[in-house]
C-alpha cells in the first residue's frame, strides 16, 4: 500500500508539470502541484556616539524624512461586528479635515552607543497643523527641549535655546501628526478586541511617526531619514483613540558613520475632538 501511495503522488506531480493541453485530468479537478514544490523564505549597526547639539542648528534646515502619501479610496463598509464598527468610526474620525486632538508621550531614542530619554512629550493637532514638543536627556544629564511646528504646509524646528529654523522641502509626507499616514481603509489594520481599564477596547495598527529623527538634538547626526514606523493603538467603541505604543525606525550618519535609529514611545491621547490653536513661530 505505501508503494501504491508513492506512485500516485509521483504521477500527480508529473501531471501538474505538464502543459494543461497534455493533461488527462479534467479541468474541474484541481492539481496538487503545491505538494511537490516546497517554498523557502529568507531574512541584517552602529559605534559612534551622538554629540549634543552645537550652538548653530542651521544644518538641520534641509531635512526631509523618507515617507509617502497614499491616495484615498472609498470609505470602509459599515459592519455589525463591534470591532469593525469601531474601526469604521475611527477611520471616519481621523480622516476628517478638521479633526483635532492632543496626546502626551514618553520614551527613548536609541542606537548602539547612546540612549536619550524622551520625557514631557506633547503632541497637538488641529487639522493639518501640528505641534510636537519633548525633552531629550543624554546619559550625561544634558537636556534639550525640542519643538517642531507645522502650520499652513510649512515646517519649523527649534532646539533648546537656539532660534527657530525653517525646514526646507517640508510637505504632508513629513507630518508628525499621529494619523497622517491614514488615507484609505487598508492603511489601518484591525488586531482585535482587548480590555483597557476594565472596559472593552479595540486594537488597531498603522504607520505613524509622532517623533522623527529630525527632533534628536545631536550636532553630529546628519542625513536623517525614517525607514519604518508603527503605532499599535487602542480605540473605544466610538472610534476615539485612547493610548498606544509607537516605534519609529530611521537612519542617519553619526560623525559620518551610517547608523540605525529606533525611537520607542508610549502615547496617551486626550482632548480628542477639542479644538487647539497652533500658530507659526
pLDDT (tens place) for every residue of the chain, 281 residues total:
444 444 444 444 444 444 444 444 444 443 333 333 333 333 333 445 666 765 444 444 444 444 444 444 455 555 578 999 999 999 999 999 999 999 999 999 998 778 999 999 999 999 999 999 999 999 999 999 999 999 999 999 999 999 999 999 888 899 999 999 999 999 999 999 999 888 999 999 999 999 999 999 998 999 999 999 999 999 999 999 999 999 999 999 988 889 999 999 999 999 999 999 999 99
For residue 62, what is its C-alpha cell?
A: 534641509
Report the candidate in 239, 242, 240, 263 with the shortest Cα–Cα distance to residue 251.
263
For residue 144, what is its C-alpha cell?
A: 534639550
DSSP 8-state secondary structure symbol assigned to residue 59: G
What gap in Å lies between CA 42 and CA 39, rounded to an integer?
Answer: 10
How many helical (H) and strand (E) elements, i.e. helices and strands, does the chain have? 3, 11
pTM above 0.85, yes or no: no
* φ, ψ of residue 185 in degrees (nearest 5): -50, -40
Residue 61 has what pLDDT? 44
Domain boundaries, the chain: 2-36, 58-270
DSSP 8-state secondary structure symbol assigned to residue 188: S
Residue 137 has what pLDDT? 97
What gap in Å lies between CA 8 and CA 224, rounded to an integer?
Answer: 59
What gap in Å lies between CA 63 and CA 161, rounded to an integer?
Answer: 20
* φ, ψ of residue 132 in degrees (nearest 5): -130, 125
What gap in Å lies between CA 235 and CA 281, rounded to an integer?
Answer: 33
Sheet holding 221-235, edge to edge: 165-167, 154-159, 143-151, 129-137, 115-126, 100-110, 257-270, 241-254, 221-235, 199-206, 189-196
What gap in Å lies between CA 180 and CA 163, rounded to an integer?
Answer: 27
Task: Look at the domain 58-270 and name its fold.
Answer: outer membrane lipoprotein receptor (LolB), chain A (2.50.20)
Amino acid at each position: 500500500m505505501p508503494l501504491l501511495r508513492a506512485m500516485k503522488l509521483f504521477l500527480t506531480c508529473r501531471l501538474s508539470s505538464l502543459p494543461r493541453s497534455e493533461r488527462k485530468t479534467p479541468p474541474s479537478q484541481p492539481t496538487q502541484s503545491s505538494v511537490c514544490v516546497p517554498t523557502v523564505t529568507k531574512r541584517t549597526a552602529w559605534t559612534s556616539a551622538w554629540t549634543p547639539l552645537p550652538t548653530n542648528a542651521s544644518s538641520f534646515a534641509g531635512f526631509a524624512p523618507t515617507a509617502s502619501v497614499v491616495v484615498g479610496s472609498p470609505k470602509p463598509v459599515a459592519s455589525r461586528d463591534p470591532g469593525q464598527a469601531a474601526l469604521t468610526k475611527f477611520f471616519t474620525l481621523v480622516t476628517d479635515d478638521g479633526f483635532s486632538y492632543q496626546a502626551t508621550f514618553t520614551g527613548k531614542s536609541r542606537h548602539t552607543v547612546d540612549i536619550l530619554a524622551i520625557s514631557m512629550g506633547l503632541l497637538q493637532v488641529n487639522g493639518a497643523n501640528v505641534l510636537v514638543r519633548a525633552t531629550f536627556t543624554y546619559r550625561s544629564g544634558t537636556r534639550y527641549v525640542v519643538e517642531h511646528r507645522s502650520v499652513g504646509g510649512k515646517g519649523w524646528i527649534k532646539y533648546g535655546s537656539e532660534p527657530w529654523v525653517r525646514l526646507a522641502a517640508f510637505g504632508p509626507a513629513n507630518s508628525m501628526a499621529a494619523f497622517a499616514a491614514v488615507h484609505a481603509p487598508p492603511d489601518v489594520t484591525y488586531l482585535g478586541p482587548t480590555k483597557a481599564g476594565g472596559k472593552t477596547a479595540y486594537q488597531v495598527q498603522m504607520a505613524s511617526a509622532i517623533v522623527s529623527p529630525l527632533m534628536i538634538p545631536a550636532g553630529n547626526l546628519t542625513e536623517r531619514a525614517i525607514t519604518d514606523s508603527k503605532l499599535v493603538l487602542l480605540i473605544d467603541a466610538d472610534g476615539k483613540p485612547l493610548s498606544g505604543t509607537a516605534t519609529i525606525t530611521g537612519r542617519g550618519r553619526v560623525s559620518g558613520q551610517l547608523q540605525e535609529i529606533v525611537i520607542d514611545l508610549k502615547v496617551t491621547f486626550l482632548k480628542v475632538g477639542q479644538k487647539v490653536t497652533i500658530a507659526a513661530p
